[in-house]
A and B are shown apart, each in its own frame.
Chain A
């Protein structure tokens, strides 16, 4: 479990007229779970996409790095806000299998991947649903499938965009318990956006709360 830091280096970032970061510089060590907060439209999703390298800063940079710094970058997994909307008729196992080595050229059928996919589904607690079409699953179950997809790249950090939105109290509790288990088993770190007030004392997860406001990322709100 190598230490990882969120590094903001003279970063200026905006979306439309909203200024997300204005020449902000800081280094924040990642612990267990970093919760990114901010009002609606503050640019939380854009900030996450900048971490993933999908959006570029106008100046400076925002990145995740190992400490002490090395050329090697942490592998990032991502679960977007809108999940489980494509190809609802395909079985769950096909969705996760597509994510395993999905960036490489070539054909997609290889029997050896099936074992790996079942392990991923096992880790997120939905292996029993492997043969069912994605479309018949509940929101919470689809989220676990999306989590298995994000885990396929064997990430060091999982970036989750509003993973608790649209979940009831029980499903939220189960999701947080799953994050804790993944951290304990795989040594994963999490960065997630959330609007919800969470009672995290039962989860024995180190939690950092940060907030995007007035062109800065404020730590320890």
Chain B
């Protein structure tokens, strides 16, 4: 299995993506931004479709569109009270999502693109990762994790106690923009592996399982990263032996992980 370049690339790509998905997904759930985690890869799909039409790399289109949409979604954060913020964000996310899907369909129509290109965007093409794409994934991973290391404490503080954090001088808008930029980049990276439709599984599945187990932040983040790694590498190995699509295996595995976490939690309770 590891004698082939495309399989080695796939394992390395999944490693980078798991680091991103596991850490950022955990914060996204805590910050009530699950809908954004669902929407951003779809928006990335539209960007990729536009890139195909403009004869650019689909991955570049994915990164640019996810980043623009992510930053747009938090534009209004500063003006809203903490109570109305989640509702405002969901409305904004829904509107951006619907508009971008429409643009994506239009771009594919104008590009007169072959349907397999659209399928790759929607369901991922982990076995087709080039060395160049791996380099971009590595850069995105290093950038996002460095940002996360720098922002770690104020990000967690403002996530758990936003009003207290603001009162003590944490600039919530800087944290929101910085975090959303990381998430947008991460979701574009996840889409390369699991596709626009299923990258949600990789970002939210392991993180949701970690939170269901009631783990502390350090343990939860570690569990989430290892869970994402187990899911993506496990899916690659299963796919090698069964020929099932990787994205399908990741999607099913994420649900399985979440159910298992609930079962384990029930076992641990008196």
A→B interface (CB under 8 Å): 49, 52-54, 76, 78-80, 82, 86-87, 89-91, 93-95, 98-99, 101-109, 133, 146, 149-150, 153
Contact = CB atoms under 8 A, between A and B. Distances in A.
B4 to A, nearest CB: 38
B79 interface: no
B1 to A, nearest CB: 36
Contacts of A99: 157, 160-161, 164
A133 B217 CA distance: 12
Nearest to B217: A94
Contacts of A133: 214
A203 to B, nearest CB: 25
B153 A108 contact: yes
B50 to A, nearest CB: 36
19 contacts: A49-B167, A78-B168, A79-B164, A82-B82, A82-B163, A90-B211, A91-B216, A94-B160, A94-B216, A95-B161, A98-B157, A99-B160, A101-B153, A103-B168, A104-B154, A107-B149, A133-B214, A150-B164, A153-B168
Given A86-B159, A86-B160, A95-B160, A102 B214 contact: no
A103 B159 contact: no
Q: Which of B30, B152, B163, B217 has the most CB of A within 10 A?
A: B163
A7 to B, nearest CB: 19
A133 B157 CA distance: 17
**Range of interface residues on chain B?**
20 to 34
Contact of B164 (A78, A90, A101, A106): A78
A76 B166 CA distance: 12
Interface in B136-167: 149-154, 156-167
B169 interface: yes
B217 A90 contact: yes
Interface of B: 30, 32, 82-83, 149-154, 156-170, 211-212, 214, 216-218, 220
Given A91-B214, A102-B170, A103-B169, A108 B152 contact: yes
Contacts of B32: 86
Main secondary structure of the interface of B (DSSP, over half): helix
Contacts of A102: 153-154, 156-158, 161, 165, 168, 170
A80 to B, nearest CB: 4
B224 to A, nearest CB: 13
A53 B168 CA distance: 9
Contacts of B167: 49, 52-54, 76, 78
A106 B150 contact: yes
B211 A89 contact: yes
B86 to A, nearest CB: 10
A30 to B, nearest CB: 18
B156 A108 contact: yes
Given A53-B167, A86-B160, A103-B168, 10 more contacts: A82-B82, A82-B83, A89-B211, A90-B214, A90-B216, A91-B214, A98-B160, A103-B165, A106-B150, A149-B161
Given A78-B167, A86-B161, A149-B161, A107 B214 contact: no
B117 to A, nearest CB: 40
Contacts of A87: 30, 159-160, 211
A219 B157 CA distance: 36
Contacts of A53: 167
A167 to B, nearest CB: 19
Nearest to B151: A105
A115 to B, nearest CB: 16
A104 B160 contact: no
A102 B159 CA distance: 11
A109 B217 contact: yes
A112 to B, nearest CB: 14
B150 to A, nearest CB: 5
Contact of B154 (A49, A89, A105): A105
A94 B168 CA distance: 18
B162 A86 contact: yes
Contacts of A90: 30, 160, 211, 214, 216-217, 220
B160 A78 contact: no
A106 B152 contact: yes
The 9 closest A-B pairs by CB, nearest first: A102-B157, A80-B163, A78-B167, A107-B152, A52-B167, A109-B218, A98-B156, A98-B160, A87-B30
Nearest to A102: B157
A82 B82 CA distance: 10
